[in-house]
Amino acid sequence: MASIDIGIDLGTATVLVYLGNKGIVLKEPSVVALNMNTNEILSVGEEAYRMIGRTPNYIRAIRPLEDGVISDYDTTEQMIKYFLKKVTGGAILRPRVSVCVPSGITEVESNAVIDAAVAAGARKVYLIEEPVAAAIGAGIDITRPNGVLIVDVGGGTCDIAMLSLSGIVSKTSIKVAGNRFDEAVIRHIRNNHNILIGERTAEMIKQEIGNVFVADQRVTTVIKGRNLVNGLPQKLEISQADIYEPLNELAMQIVHSIQQVLERTPPELVGDVYNNGVLMTGGGSLIRGLPELITQQLHIRASIAENPIECVAIGTGKSFSFIGELQDGFVGITGQSRNH
Ligand SMILES: Nc1ncnc2c1ncn2[C@@H]1O[C@H](COP(=O)(O)OP(=O)(O)OP(=O)(O)O)[C@@H](O)[C@H]1O
Ligand SMILES: [Mg+2]
């Protein structure tokens, strides 16, 4: 049996797995469906995602990672085990595993991730912070003395970090990311149209017509939900302008956090950001208008990485080449590795 290195991007919305010799081999929603009577796992990933909002009482489709951190330890462990088994077929002997975590993670949460990976069969576990993984995945040479500003907008967290010389110079992590945009759409449609929609519909609306920079009346979509007054199903046409305000408000929170990180960054590195711009990664960065809004508000160029959704997983998988630096105190990798 072979031993190999595995990188896991343990995201709130999606889990991606990178196998040392193959690249990304798995990309599935971080959802687990549980039988509430027996506590048994019914399905994981894609299949469980299709059950969201459509389950009978005794089944619950849950996201074990809330806001980018582990909120349900047992289920997360089961999920990691399931995905590792799926990609290795049980044929890889005790792999070294690198797991990407949000940069605001606490020690207790870090330990929970390490324990889950060890319980799932890992021989050694390394934790890498999301912006560092994102930068490696985007092909940036993070060892140079040249400031790089990374903004990773995921489903649960937005991680903003100023990197230079393999380390994080200043950073912040806020819980304003893709899910919050979906919730804002649900709330807005309920309050303004008396229609209740599910989270999958909200995500679809966001992706189809959401824009945080432009509010065009002519860009519309038809949604279906439940009328809260008479309880009946109802169709409604909504426009980009309709949902612009709540989305823009959240995007402005991201802009302010970037500004705060810049304020805490030494002037030489801020100068680098003016030259290099901001690099955005994560699925949440794909909401329309976000780079334009950042550029307008902060007067710095913002661009989206070539492969924003997979970038963190690629960087996590490639992070093993930095382990030498990790042992010399590579700042970007938080957790101690644990032998087991
Ligand atoms: N085209 C798109 N437009 C807008 N949002 C998008 C688009 N594609 C994906 N998203 C959003 O990206 C988010 C998921 O991004 P990603 O997969 O990077 O998150 P994650 O890594 O699982 O989360 P986190 O890093 O916070 O733990 C979801 O909220 C999804 O709705
Ligand atoms: Mg992520």
Q: For residue 151, report the phi and psi dihedrals to the nearest 5 degrees.
A: -125, 110
Separation of CA 193 and ligand 1 centre (Å):
26
184-193 long-range contacts (CB < 8 A, ≥24 apart) are 184/243, 184/246, 184/247, 184/249, 184/250, 185/210, 185/243, 185/246, 185/247, 187/246, 188/242, 188/243, 188/245, 188/246, 189/223, 189/225, 189/236, 189/238, 189/243, 190/228, 192/242, 193/236, 193/238
- For the sheet with 40-44, list strands across it: 40-44, 32-35, 59-62
**Domain 5-133+312-327 in this protein, CATH class:** alpha beta
CATH of domain 140-176+247-309: 3.30.420.40
Q: What is the pTM of this model?
A: 0.90
- pLDDT greater than 60 at residue 221: yes
> What is the spatial distance between Cα 265 and Cα 317, in angstroms, rounded to a whole number?
29
- pLDDT greater than 60 at residue 334: no
Tell me whether domains 5-133+312-327 and 140-176+247-309 share a fold. yes
Separation of CA 152 and ligand 2 centre (Å):
7
Domain chopping of the chain, boundaries: 5-133+312-327, 140-176+247-309, 178-245
Q: Which ligand is located closest to the Cα atom of residue 156?
A: 1
Q: Report the nearest atom of ligand 1 relative to the CA of 67.
A: 26
Q: Which ligand is located closest to the Cα atom of residue 134?
A: 2
The verdict on the CB of residue 156 being under 6 Å from ligand 1 is yes
Instruction: Give mean pLDDT, residues 37-64.
Output: 88
pLDDT tens digits for 71-84? 777 888 888 888 98
Identity of the residue numbered 135: A
Which CATH number applies to 178-245: 3.40.50.300, 3.20.20.70, 3.10.450.50, 3.90.640.10? 3.90.640.10
* Top mutation candidate among 219, 309, 310 for ligand 1, by most atoms within 8 Å of CB: 309
**According to the model, what pLDDT value does residue 80 have?**
87
